Each structure stands twice: as C-alpha cells, then as structure tokens.
A and B are shown apart, each in its own frame.
Chain A
C-alpha cells in the first residue's frame, strides 16, 4: 500500500508523524535538513556540545521534547533526512538525496514546509556580511558562530528581538536593534497580545533584557541603507549612521508554498500574511483531495500553532481514511489554534508591514539578486503596461533565478503594485515551477 507522506520535519511535521503513529500509521517523513527539528528547534551537528538551555533558552523544554519525539519515531517510521522534494506529480513526490533521484508515491500527504524570512531589500543588502534574521540565527544555533563582531539587527517582527537577545547572550556585540514598527503600534496591539500571556511575557522579557544590558533599541527606525565597499561597514537610518561589521534584517516570515502550488492546491489572498496562501479548512484540508497543510508553510502562526496544526491535520487525515479517532481532540486543538490566531492579529498590529517600503525603494536598488534586477528595471516594465507578476517576470527576469522568487518575489510584487496603482493581491503570485530547489546534472536515477 502507498504510504502517508509528510514533508517537513519541523514541529508541524513531527507532531503529525507522532499522531499518525499513535493510530498505527507509519508515515514516510521527508526533510531536506541533516537533522530534524525544523528551523526553530534546529539541532547542532553531531559532536557539538552546547546544552539545550544554551541553544534554545526559554524554548529548551519544547525543543527537547520535539527532538525526543523525533528520535523515538525515527526507527519506527520511514524517516528520510537530507532529502529534498523537488517536484510533485501524479500522486508521487520526486526526491533528491545525496545526488540520487528517487520518488515516493503517497496515499495521502501532509505538507509542513515551514517558512523563511520575508525580505524587503535596502541599498547595500547584497554586501558580504548581510544576512536575514533567520540565517543569523541559524549560524548561531547550528554552527555556533556569530555573523560578525559588531552586529546590527534590523527590520521588524518578534524574531528581531529574539535574535538580538540570543546574539547578545552568546557574547556578540549588538550595536543596535532597529525596529521599523513604532512603539505606539506595540501599545495598540497589547489587548490582542494579552490573549497569549506567556508568549507576550517572553517578548517583553527579551526587550527588557536588551535594555538592561545596554543594547540600544530604536523603535520606529527604518533601516535606510547598508554601507560598505568589500563588506558591511555600517548602517544608516533617519539622520543616523552607525559602524558595524554585520547586519541581519527581515520583516517577519513568509510561507514556503511552492510544493502546495505544484500539487495544485487552490490559493487565496491572505490579508493578514499579505500573501497568496494555499487554502485549507480549519482542520488543514487543502483544496486537493488527500493533501493536508500544517504549520508555517500554510500561514505564519509560530511553532506552538504548528505543532497543534500538525496534530489536527493528522487527525483529519485519519478521519478521512476511515480511522476512528479521539472525538474531542479536534475541537480542543481548533480552539487553541483560534486563540493563537487572535494573537497573530495582535502581532501584525505590533509589527505592521512597512507600507511605504515600495514607494521609497530607489530605482537602483537590487530587488532580485539572482538575476540582478533593480527596482527601476521592474518599474520600467510596469510603465510599459505590465502588471501581472508572471508577465513582469517574463519581461525583466525578476524571480527567474535560482531562488525562483522565494527571496525577491514578495518585494517585487510590492513594487509592481505600488507602481501600477493596483493592490498587491491584484498583481497575483509567481507560478511555481519545478525544481523547488536546484537539481544537479549527472544526477543518479534510481531504477
């Protein structure tokens, strides 16, 4: 019989695999990473000695629990780390493991592909020494190294303060935290944020800790430029300049949706995420029969929600497969998810999208670094009468390079929308094309 396949071994995928196993289903769990855990609970390489407390701070308990779950599951299920899903076709996923191409057929599929940083480029962002916030965190969590000695952290969103805290705690000098969201926005968001007091408390703790330890935090401060010749030498905002040797920046996260797209899932505009996302019901069923969505890959809601959504999707899958499941659990999970969703609304108020970004992006700003396409190049295509994002891509190559728009696509859409006087929704979304990530020539094919 064809297996149930789960793509993504982060909190959502692991909890889905656990739930399925509880009902006797040994799923095939596929993940690109060397070791499971996902981005938030990313594990250090074998042989590294840092404690969970050092690595994950407040989240140490949760991280250890997720790792333990995966370690217990791994021998009992078909766990495939180091395996990229590069295409989906005909009830089958195409895989790449260590230069070997293979495929796996599925009876049902849970897509838990997670998220990456949402990048809004600024002049200088392609200099060596500039990272996304997530990448800066990976360097620390995984390799145990900082991106620089004097680090500036910019953008907005909860990750900004967390990374600042982690860097400062690890001994790096954080020369400044620039949050484009004003303090007033965070005050406005308080009522909604109070719905998840523990999460709110952690956020406030990081903020207070930074101030107490002399890390300068500037709110309502928008990074205007990153200076440097061979590599980063400083940043500018407003009338300020500041020397530093590394910068990490991002404006919250974006969902990794290419697989859902290749699977043919219907997408809808999601105003909260300011993105086109695959549609799902409250249990996680996508528009495609037998395909379920969970975690940040479906919409940004964080690790706790991902874990619940993974379990909820697995229960839906079981139910659809005719397996008798716990009748009360779904409602409990859905209630908890709804609560986190309200918190998410609060976060969006606290860290609002910088609406003026597109209008302010200078013409010579590189938006798509794979294909070296500037804001001005995109505007020229719009001025020529194009506004649909795939047509804009066809005309100026934005989003055509090796990241296939995963990095630049949203920024490009903002510029097209601003220039054409349309909404970002109207501009549409970049069509997914295989391979999800690059494939090598000379690949070995399993017979």
Chain B
C-alpha cells in the first residue's frame, strides 16, 4: 500500500512524486509510456516567467527558485541556463503592450528591462530589423526537456518512489477512502491519494469522478537547425505570438511557431504548413538563419482548457483526488512548483502558493 499514487510521469507528476518522496511519503508513480516522453520531454525548452498572466506568477516565481536549485534536485544541470528571455515587439502597439506588462508585474520583481530600437540593436545586433523594441527578462532562460523531465522521475525513484513505466492506468475505483488503480499490464495499486497528472489525457480521469472539463489537445510545431555559430545569447519570443527561438550550446537553433496535427491519440507531427511558415518567416526576425538548414521537426500533445489556464488543486467531488494538468503550452517552467504544490496539499492540507484561480470548480456552472 502506498500513501500516494501519481498518475502520469511528465514533469508535473514526476516533480510531485519527488517532492512527496522527499517528505517521506510512500509514492507510486505510474506512467503509460516512458517518463518524460510526452509534452514534458519534447517541448521547446523555454523556462520563462515573462509573459505569463499575473495569477500564474506566484507559482512561476516559486518554480524559478526551484529551477535555480536544479542540480541539487535532479542530479544534472539539464542544460539549464539563465541567459535571459527577450520578447520582441514588431509594432509600436506591441511595444506599448510590453510596457504595460512590465507595469502590471512590477510587484513580482521580474527585473524586466524595456529596450527601444537603438538599445535593442546595440545589445542584440543579431535581431532582425522588424523588431522595433523588446522586453528583456534577464533571469529567464531555457533547458533541455529531453534530459530534465526524465531526470525528475529518476530523482523521485532515488528518493524511494516506486516508478512503473509502460503501465497504462485503465480503471480507477474509489470506495470513499481508498483509490484502486488498475493498469493494462496487470498492475494493481491502492492508496488514499491519487494525483491526476495525466497531461492532455487527464480529462477522462476528471470526467470519471463527475467533474468533466472542456480540455482539448493541440500540438505546437518545433524545428531544429544544424549546429550554427553561436550568436543568440538569449531565448526569444514575440509579443502577440509568432516564431520563438533559442540556441543551445552545441549551436543548434530550436524554433517553434504554429500548430501541428495529431497522428493518433499519443503522437503528433508539426505539419508542412507550420514548418514552411517557420522556414519562410524566421529569417525576418533572426536574419542569421538565412540559408541555414533545418534538420528535424517534431511536435507533442499538450492539453488546453478554453481559458488557457491549468487545472491545479483538489477535486470538487472526491476526497483524496488532486488534479494538475492542462498547461496550455507553458507547463515546463511551472512543473516543479506545481508538483510541490500538490505535495504540500497531501502533506499539510494546503499549497503555500495561491492556486485558487486554477480550481476545477471554474468549469462547474
């Protein structure tokens, strides 16, 4: 018998398992495929606070602290660098929006620096002329999701969590006190706590407990270049959306933009339209890419709720059931803090960070 069953081995579930194990709980993590093989392992790798809605910022700030302790938490640096996140504005209106954001988030101490055209040119000469200004968050950065997310599960295991991979949860029963979880491979587990961290697939668990949510899947398109001379010294994005890009130490540039399509319930591809969009338009923002070659593309399956906010916190129907899913393309950075918040609810009844805005109750009319 475990104290807690965590359903889903993405960064959210694995962080929760790690934090719970660190607090002495008996944790079992069940993952249908391999830990960190879905969104958490294939995302763009942006670890940024800049641009998030205000009510996400307390959680995001806490995540920022945890990312700062990454090697101590998971045993590797995960290629995490705090090189800064530069958000580009393509018009005066977009630049004004960046100003307004900086104003609104002043109390959170993100350290945002607004750069006008001349300052932007001087500091980041590789940015294309289409940018009229930018906002820099110097302490944001990026990391390698392929390494970071599986390492959270590995760390949980090292702290005593039991991790079952290739174990798909197919049936869950609750007798008012204990959850009985059955997996396709014959595994049976029970525990008084169940954490629903099943990412884009979490909706069916919620629905089963009488609290359906309007979750949909979407598939951000990703692309990577051959290694290029290192020029990008910050991770970038564009106000109002568009092509985002970062460059890793090895020299490869990773770009995202647009949406792909589902190949099946678990697999996705970026799609030719999105790939060609990136190849045609990226050089406008990042002129040094002209003539470089894209060597690989990919996508993933991410859960989105209509308001683009996650569901985090206790079930409204079932004691012992906690949710943490639906991060709308931005859960990699938040993941460790969400895991911690869920662990705190289990251990002390409440999360230290405010999470009321993410309650599943918001979908109950």
What residues of chain A have their CB less than 8 Å away from a CB belonging to chain B? 87, 89, 94, 101, 103, 264, 384, 388, 391, 394-395, 400-402, 404, 433-435, 438-443, 445
Per the bound structure, the CA–CA distance linking A264 and B269 in Å amounts to 12
CB of B269 within 8 A of CB of A441, answer no
Closest 6 CB pairs of A and B: A438-B293, A394-B146, A402-B295, A441-B289, A94-B272, A439-B294
Q: Please pick, from B269, B280, B292, B298, the residue contacting A445 in the complex, using a CB distance under 8 A.
A: B280
**Partner among B147, B275, B291, B293 whose Cβ is within 8 Å of the Cβ of A434:** B275
Contact A394 B37 (CB under 8 A): yes
Q: Flag if B279 contacts A395 (CB, 8 Å).
A: no
- From B147, B292, B297, contact of A440 by CB (8 A): B292
CA distance A438 to B271 in the complex (A): 15
Q: Say yes or no: B276 contacts A434, CB within 8 Å.
A: no
**Within the complex, which residue of A264, A391, A394, A402 is in contact with B293, where a contact is CB–CB below 8 Å?**
A402
Q: In the complex the two chains form, is B37's CB within 8 Å of A443's CB?
A: no
Residues from chain B with a CB closer than 8 A to the CB of A89 are: 269, 271-272
Report the separation of the CA atoms of residues A435 and B282 in the bound assembly, to the nearest whole angstrom: 17
Contact of B294 among A391, A394, A401, A438 (CB under 8 A): A438
A439 contacts B293, C-beta separation under 8 Å: yes
Number of A-B contacts (CB under 8 A): 77
Is B356 part of the contact surface with A, judged by Cβ < 8 Å? no
Residue of A94, A103, A439, A441 most packed against chain B (CB within 10 A) = A441
Does residue B290 face the partner (Cβ distance < 8 Å to A)?
yes
With A391-B34, A441-B283 in contact, do A435 and B271 touch (Cβ < 8 Å)? no
Tell me, in angstroms, the Cα distance from A399 to B271 when the chains sit together. 21
Contact with A along B216-236 (1 / 0, CB 8 A): 000000000110000000000
B231 to chain A, nearest CB (A): 14
User: Could you show 8 A-B contacts with beta carbons less than 8 Å apart?
Assistant: A388-B34, A401-B226, A402-B226, A434-B269, A435-B275, A438-B294, A442-B290, A443-B280
Known: A400-B296, A441-B283. 20 other contacts (CB 8 A): A89-B272, A94-B272, A101-B276, A391-B37, A394-B37, A395-B147, A395-B150, A401-B226, A404-B295, A433-B298, A434-B270, A434-B275, A435-B294, A439-B275, A439-B279, A441-B282, A441-B289, A441-B290, A442-B290, A443-B279
Q: How far is the CB of A400 from chain B (nearest CB, A)?
A: 7
Point out the residues of chain A lying under 8 angstroms from B295, CB to CB: 401-402, 404, 435, 438
Listed in ascending order, the chain B residues whose CB lies under 8 Å from chain A are 34, 37, 41, 146-147, 150, 154, 225-226, 263, 269-272, 275-276, 279-280, 282-283, 289-298
A442 to B154, CA, bound (A): 41
Return chain A residues, CB-CB under 8 Å to B41.
Answer: 394
Of A391, A434, A441, the residue contacting B272 (CB under 8 A) is A434
Q: In the complex, which of the residues B272, B283, B290, B292 contacts A87, with contact meaning CB atoms closer than 8 Å?
A: B272
Closest to A372 in B: B250
Residues of B within 8 A of A395 (CB): 146-147, 150
> What residues of chain B lie closer than 8 Å to A400, measured between beta carbons?
296
Give the residues in chain B near A401, CB-CB below 8 Å.
226, 295
Residue of A nearest to B157 (CB): A385
A433–B147 contact, CB under 8 A? Answer: no
A394 partner residues in chain B, CB cutoff 8 A: 37, 41, 146, 150
B289, chain A: closest CB distance, angstroms: 5
User: Given that A395-B147, A404-B296, A439-B293 are contacting pairs, would A103 and B272 also be in contact in the complex, using a CB cutoff of 8 Å?
Assistant: yes
The answer to whether B37 touches A438 (Cβ under 8 A) is: no
With a cutoff of 8 Å between Cβ atoms, the chain A residues found around residue B154 in the complex are: 384
A400, B41: Cα distance in complex, Å:
15
Complex alpha-carbon distance, A89 and B272, angstroms? 8
Whether A443 touches B290, Cβ cut-off 8 Å, given contacts A394-B41, A434-B269, is no
| Complex Cα–Cα for A87 and B273 (A) | 11
Chain B residues within 8 Å of A445, by CB = 276, 280
Q: How far is the CA of A103 from the CA of B272 in the complex (A)?
A: 10
Give the CA-CA distance A103 to B275 in the complex, in Å. 13
**What distance in Å separates the Cβ of B36 from its nearest Cβ neighbour in chain A?**
8
Tell me whether B147 and A441 are in contact (CB under 8 A). no
A446: nearest chain-B partner, CB-CB: B276
Inter-chain CA distance A384–B158, complex, in Å, is 12
Distance in angstroms between the alpha carbons of A142 and B59 in the assembled complex: 62
| CB–CB A442/B279 < 8 A | yes
Q: How far does the alpha carbon of A243 sit from the alpha carbon of B282 in the complex, in Å?
A: 49
What residues of chain A lie closer than 8 Å to B37, measured between beta carbons?
Answer: 391, 394
Measured between beta carbons, the chain A residues less than 8 angstroms from B297 are 433-435
Closest-CB distance, B118 to chain A (whole angstroms): 27
* A432 to chain B: closest residue by CB: B269
Closest chain-A Cβ to B267's Cβ sits at a distance in Å of 8
- Taking the closest CB of chain B, its distance from the CB of A229, in whole angstroms, is 24
How many Å from the CB of B268 to the closest CB on chain A? 11
Cβ of B275 and Cβ of A441 under 8 Å apart? no
CA distance A404 to B297 in the complex (A): 11
| Residues A442 and B296 in contact, CB atoms below 8 Å apart | no
Option from A94, A434, A441 in Cβ contact (under 8 Å) with B292 = A441
Contacts of B294 in A (CB 8 A): 435, 438-441
Note all chain B residues with C-beta closer than 8 A to A402.
226, 293, 295
State the CA gap A89–B262 with chains docked (Å): 12
A94 to B154, CA, bound (A): 40
Closest Cβ neighbor of A101 among chain B residues: B276
Shortest distance between the CB of A182 and any CB in chain B (Å): 40
A89, B37: Cα distance in complex, Å: 23
Chain B residues, CB < 8 A from A87: 272, 275
Contact check, B279 vs A440: say whether CB atoms are below 8 A apart. yes
Complex: chain B residue closest to A92, CB-CB: B272
A442-B283 in contact (CB<8A): yes
Interchain CA distance A103-B226 in the complex, whole Å: 24
B280 with A442: CB separation less than 8 A = yes
Inside 8 A of A94's CB, which chain B residues have their CB?
Answer: 272
The contact of B296 among A101, A264, A388, A433, by CB within 8 Å, is: A433
Q: Are B275 and A438 closer than 8 Å at their CB atoms? A: no
Could you say which of A438, A440, A442, A445 has the most chain B C-beta atoms within 10 Å of its C-beta? A442
Give Cα distance in the complex from A439 to B37, angstroms: 26
| Docked pose: A101 CA to B276 CA in angstroms | 8
Which residues of A have CB within 8 Å of B290?
441-442
Residues of the B chain whose Cβ atoms lie less than 8 Å from the Cβ of A443: 276, 279-280
Please, how many angstroms separate the alpha-carbon atoms of A439 and B292 in the complex? Answer: 8
**Once the chains are docked, how many angstroms separate the CA of A445 from the CA of B280?**
8
B296 CB contacts on chain A under 8 angstroms: 400, 404, 433, 435
* Nearest CB of B to A291, in Å: 16
Q: How far is the CA of A438 from the CA of B280 in the complex (A)?
A: 15
The answer to whether B279 touches A441 (Cβ under 8 A) is: yes
Residue of B whose beta carbon sits closest to that of A99 = B291
The minimal Cβ–Cβ distance linking A349 to chain B, given in whole angstroms, is: 37
With A103-B272, A395-B146, A395-B147 already in contact, the answer to whether A441 and B34 are too (CB < 8 A) is: no
